[in-house]
Amino acid sequence: QVQLVESGGGLVQAGGSLRLSCAASGRSFNRDAMGWFRQAPGREREFVAAISWGAYTTYYRDSVKGRFTISRDNAKNTVYLQMNDLKPEDTALYYCAADNSMGVLTTTLLPRYWGQGTQVTVSS
Averaged over 82-94, what is the pLDDT?
Answer: 98
Averaged over 20-26, what is the pLDDT?
Answer: 96
Residue 79 has pLDDT above 90, yes or no: yes
Letter for the amino acid at 108? T
- Please tell me whether residue 38 adopts helix, strand or coil conformation: strand
Confidence of residue 1 (pLDDT cuts 50, 70, 90): confident
Res 118: pLDDT: 98
Res 24: pLDDT: 95
Does residue 113 contact residue 100 with C-beta atoms inside 8 Å?
A: no
Sign of the Cα pseudo-torsion (66, 70, 71, 76, in order): positive
In a 13 Å sphere around the CA of 39, the CA atoms on its Cβ side amount to 12
Averaged over 85-100, what is the pLDDT?
Answer: 97
112: which DSSP letter? Answer: S
Does residue 35 contact residue 111 with C-beta atoms inside 8 Å?
A: yes
- Summary mean pLDDT of the chain: 96
Confidence of residue 23 (pLDDT cuts 50, 70, 90): very high
Averaged over 82-109, what is the pLDDT?
Answer: 96
